[in-house]
Amino acid sequence: MGAPVATPPASPPSGGAPRKPSKGLPQSGSTWHLSDRIGLAICWALGLLFCAIAVAIVAYLFVQGIKYLRPEMLFTPATAGFSQGQTGGFSDAFFGTLIVATMGIAIALPVGVGVAVWLVEYGRPAALARVTESTIEAIAGIPSIVLALFGTVIFSSAALGFLSRTSEGVVFGRSFFGASAMLSLVALPLVVASTREGLSAIPQHVREASYAVGKTKIATARRILLPAARPQVATGAMLGLGRIIGDTAIIVVLLGATQNFAPVEGAAFPFNYLRGAGTTLTNFVYEASPTGNLNQPEKAYAAAFVLLLMVLALNAAVDIVHRRARKVGTWSS
Amino acid sequence: MVVPAPSHNGNGAATPSGFSGARRSIGSPQFSIRRMEVDQLSVSYAAREAVKSVSLPIRQGEVLAMIGPSGCGKTTLLRSLNRLTELTRTARVSGRILLDDVDIGLIEPTLLRRRVTMVFQQPNPFPMSVFDNIAYVLREQGSRRQRRKTLEPQVHSALDRAGLFEEVKDNLDHPALRLSGGQQQRLCIARALAAEPEVLLLDEPCSALDPQSTQVIEDLIVNLRDDVAVVIVTHNLQQAYRIADHVAFMYLGDLVEYGAATTVFGSPREKRTQEYVSGAFG
């Protein structure tokens, strides 16, 4: 060590004039192989292709949606009729979507955040934490139609008869309660994963700073960690909401997929509606499309456009939360 | 490797040990009251012993600096003073630490940590306003109760003690993470002082800061020593020399030397101390 061998740092390989500075892409004669170039070109092309697909979907639905959507459709229930002008709107499907989204996330968000806090901040006993993790991964992997079938078994049981319609001792099992409960399972893994990511990104010394002024773990989680992880919690909630409003299988199997609300007689508002069957926009789009029973494509486009607007609004909301968080700043690592 | 003889290293004024001295910015203590007593403390992580049977006093009216190379156990020792070591599952602590003659093992950790507060290496204000950063400490656990009005005097006085009030008094509602690094660190000191502690622990509080902010914080530390016992861990020997009354030199978990700063830097008893302060290793 320490031998006086002068190694010139990064000099041109051949002792001549320094190489011409390349701008952006490397010039010929560089270390770039033909295969690298082809690979990069394919990546570019794929990126452009996906952009084009997204733009095409959104543009097409916007054009069709603006053409066919009338605001009154959101407030007129569907009725039977022989032409598309006579079948009313899809208010029940629209409000059905709002109901399952609200109830689904109202279950998934607190439960998911609670599970994430427990996993990241406590995680004891370790065996239970491992089981919880794999359970949540398993739920994330189960197709929603399977969840729906399982849900019918659960919610048709006599003990849960108060959550749906019961007639002559038979529990119908299909209701907004049941569908929302199962849909919350669809959203739960997304909420948990995103919240965990947010909590794990907080440096350990920030937690310790809170413990070091005499705060308990739970106070630290409530007042410091969860507010700091708010953008990721919001992202998880929005992704979960997107999955809930986009799901069809659970709606068909566990909500009854009726054309209109089917409130339970004799129950008090709003439980008469929540215990009854109903429908959502995704199911309406399916039924109104040429493959469905209604075959009224104009309404299908209008309803699909409403769904698209909802998803775009969710994306915008996530953006706003993230932008606000950037204003508050973060720690240097 | 030959141990270099104590010599001048080109910087001019060198102390007899070879420590190229900084100027001391601390006068001799006016008084000193023993607040904590570390007695035969050992801390180990799994199989590794990080602190080996260390005993030393911590006094109000003085600044105690802990120096030593990385991994010598000084931060572990600091963290055991407010039982933060307990957050590390593998950590095992033996020996006794007394706070005002009471074994800290008998004090509820949340209460202990309000009496022995801590400032960390990285400035870590909470993601809330400047005001709320202090108010959080004053409030009961996770509570939001207690109006701003009632907390205002305490918040202002904590900021004032940390020399930050004049700079932020018009921006108390601004996000704390938008302050400069030096201001953030002083906010963390204000936060630690808001609990009215008896002992203030500082874990390399200036290592992430520029020289100017460092100077401001050093002056602040010197001013605080009469109100609160100050313990600072530092990698920076000049810093220890500038602001410490007593210095504890640790090496591989052992407390090699403990004594007055002028003695440890000027004429250390131990050879290892002399080598370290003269820059032979570290």
Q: Reduce the DSSP state of residue B103 to 3 states and report it.
A: strand
- Give the separation between CA B280 and CA B282, rounded to whole angstroms: 7
Q: Kindly tell me if the per-residue pLDDT of A32 is higher than 80.
A: yes
**Beta carbon pairs, A and B, within 8 Å:** 91
The H-or-E segment that residue B232 falls in is strand B229-233
Q: Reduce the DSSP state of residue A168 to 3 states and report it.
A: coil
Do the Cβ atoms of B113 and A332 come within 8 Å? no
Which amino acid appears at position A145 of this protein? Answer: I
Q: Tokens 């500075």, residue?
A: A21
Q: For residue B122, give the nearest of A203, A211, A219 by CB distance.
A: A203
The values of phi and psi at residue A84, to 5°, are -65, -20
Region A193-197 average pLDDT: 97
CB neighbourhood size of B49 (10 A): 17
The values of phi and psi at residue B79, to 5°, are -70, -25
pLDDT at residue number A20: 52
pLDDT at residue number A26: 52
CATH number reported for the structural domain that contains residue A179 in this entry: 1.10.3720.10
The class that CATH gives domain B33-126+197-277 is alpha beta
Q: What percent of chain B is modeled with pLDDT above 70?
A: 92
For the ranges B17-21, B95-99, B124-128, which has the lowest average pLDDT?
A: B17-21
Interface check B1 vs A, CB under 8 A: no
Q: What is the pLDDT of residues A144-167, one digit of tens each?
A: 999 999 999 999 999 998 998 888
Distance in Å, alpha carbon of B4 to nearest chain A alpha carbon? 19
Q: Is residue A257 part of a domain?
A: yes
pLDDT at residue number A19: 53
- Give the separation between CA B260 and CA B244, rounded to whole angstroms: 8
Instruction: Look up residue B281 and give its two tokens.
Output: 């290793």
pLDDT classification of A6: cutoffs 50, 70, 90: very low
Do the Cβ atoms of A212 and B175 come within 8 Å? no
- Give the separation between CA A319 and CA B9, rounded to whole angstroms: 58
Instruction: Look up residue A212 and give its two tokens.
Output: 């070091």
Q: Tokens 């609670």, residue?
A: A114
**Residue B56 burial (C-beta neighbours within 10 Å; 0-12, 13-18, 19+):** middle
Q: Is residue A331 part of a domain?
A: no
Q: For residue B120, give the nearest of A205, A224, A328 by CB distance.
A: A205
pLDDT at residue number B116: 96
Per DSSP, helices labelled H in chain A are 34-68, 91-117, 126-141, 144-155, 176-200, 204-211, 217-220, 226-228, 230-246, 249-250, 271-274, 281-288, 297-328
Count of domains observed in chain A: 1
Do the Cβ atoms of A219 and B142 come within 8 Å? yes
Q: Kindly tell me if the per-residue pLDDT of B177 is higher than 70.
A: yes
Q: Kindly tell me if the per-residue pLDDT of B9 is higher than 50.
A: no
Q: Is residue A56 part of a domain?
A: no
pLDDT greater at residue A287 or residue A2: A287
Interface check B54 vs A, CB under 8 A: no
Q: Output the DSSP codes for B21-57.
A: PPPP-----S--EEEEEEEEEEEEETTEEEEEEEEEE
Q: What is the pLDDT of residues B28-59, one digit of tens each?
A: 888 889 999 999 999 999 889 999 999 999 99
Contacts of A333 in chain B (CB under 8 A): 122
Interface check B121 vs A, CB under 8 A: yes
Q: Is residue A132 part of a domain?
A: yes
Q: What is the pLDDT of residues B225-265, one digit of tens each?
A: 999 999 999 999 999 999 999 999 999 999 999 999 999 99
Interface check B90 vs A, CB under 8 A: no
Q: For residue A329, give the nearest of B111, B112, B177 by CB distance.
A: B177
Per DSSP, helices labelled H in chain B are 74-80, 109-115, 130-138, 148-161, 165-168, 181-194, 211-224, 237-243, 261-266, 271-277
Q: What is the pLDDT of residues A311-322, one digit of tens each?
A: 999 999 999 999
Q: Kindly tell me if the per-residue pLDDT of A119 is higher than 70.
A: yes
Which residue of chain A is at minimal alpha-carbon distance from B129?
Answer: A328
Q: Kindly tell me if the per-residue pLDDT of A3 is higher than 70.
A: no
Q: Kindly tell me if the per-residue pLDDT of B142 is higher than 80.
A: no
Q: Tokens 């309406």, residue?
A: A284
Max mean pLDDT among A13-27, A71-85, B205-219 falls in: B205-219
Q: For residue B175, give the nearest of A209, A329, A331 by CB distance.
A: A329
pLDDT at residue number A16: 46
Interface check B114 vs A, CB under 8 A: yes
pLDDT at residue number A27: 54
Q: What is the pLDDT of residues B57-76, one digit of tens each?
A: 999 999 999 999 988 999 99
Interface check B9 vs A, CB under 8 A: no
Do the Cβ atoms of A219 and B141 come within 8 Å? yes
Are the C-beta atoms of residues A206 and B124 closer than 8 Å to each other? yes
Do the Cβ atoms of B127 and A224 come within 8 Å? yes
Q: For residue B142, give the nearest of A222, A228, A329 by CB distance.
A: A222
Q: Kindly tell me if the per-residue pLDDT of B6 is higher than 80.
A: no
Of A318, A247, A285, the closest CA to residue A69 belongs to A285
pLDDT at residue number A234: 95
Average pLDDT along chain A: 89
Q: For residue B110, give the nearest of A216, A330, A333 by CB distance.
A: A216
Task: Report chain A's terminal Cα–Cα distance, integer Å.
Answer: 35
pLDDT at residue number A294: 81
pLDDT at residue number A29: 59
Q: Is residue A30 part of a domain?
A: no
Total number of residues shown for chain B: 282
Which residues, 6 or more positions from B114, have their beta carbon under 8 angstroms from its beta carbon?
Answer: A213, A214, B195, B196, B197
Interface mutation target, options A208, A210, A213, chain B, most CBs of B under 10 Å: A213
Q: What is the pLDDT of residues A238-291, one digit of tens each?
A: 999 999 999 999 999 999 988 889 998 888 899 999 999 999 999 999 999 988
pLDDT at residue number B37: 95
- Give the separation between CA B173 and CA A80, rounded to whole angstroms: 59
Q: Is residue A73 part of a domain?
A: no
Q: What is the pLDDT of residues A49-105, one digit of tens each?
A: 999 999 999 999 999 999 999 999 999 998 888 888 888 889 999 999 999 999 999
